[in-house]
Chains A and B, each alone.
Chain A
Amino acid sequence: MAERLGNVLLALRAERGLTQAALAEMVGVSRKTINTVENGVFVPSTLLALKLARALGQPVETLFHLHENEE
């Protein structure tokens, strides 16, 4: 059973009319970090996940969820 972290960061960011750069500035990371988290390339720490959730005004479990793939 392979697990990976899914997220709805892109949808929530777009809903709020925020660019990656604007969200990066709010959270205090680079735009590359926002991009890699959105694309599932990078799994953020709990701290960064909580900061993203706070910046987007959502609980962290709304932003992130587990994908379970049968292999």
Chain B
Amino acid sequence: MNVSDVSKAERVARLRAFLMAAMAVILVVTAWLGFGDGAADSARPWVRHVGWAVMILLWLVILATGGGLRLSRSVRRVMNDEVALANRGSALRLGFWTAMAGALALYAASFSLDLNLRDGLRLLVNFSIAAALARYAWLELR
């Protein structure tokens, strides 16, 4: 382990946390703005749907692995050390409970609102991942 690896890992980890915070905001804003589009979505280009799915999968992979897969093993080891793993665990737990609470809220709302399945799923996924990303960013940057 050399100094440049440790400082590079810290730099990348900080950048990762900033990106996660920014992505959390983007996910919440797009979920909010896009809500209600579900019924009209079928007529929209498939690129929009695939783009959303790819973006979600990408952030799920980053949440699961810590990202930086193209970096050297020693840099990734420092980026994903014990504290980073503990922070990620905490973030994933919050994401899970946000998903559960969101699912229950949508279930309850479905009795009084005419909810589109696609709208509901997008809202649930965006908010859950945003919660996990925001929690991770906050724990890393505090």
Contacts and interface: CB of A to CB of B under 8 A. Distances in A.
Nearest to A21: B6
Interface in B26-76: 74
A36 B82 CA distance: 11
Contacts of A42: 82-83, 86
B9 interface: yes
A30 B86 contact: no
Interface residues of B, number: 18
A48 B78 CA distance: 13
A32 B139 CA distance: 11
A28 B78 contact: yes
A24 B77 CA distance: 12
A7 to B, nearest CB: 15
Contacts of B84: 30, 33
Nearest to B77: A28
Contact of B79 (A30, A31, A45): A30
Nearest to B5: A25
A31 B10 contact: yes
Interface string A4-30: 000000000000000001001110111
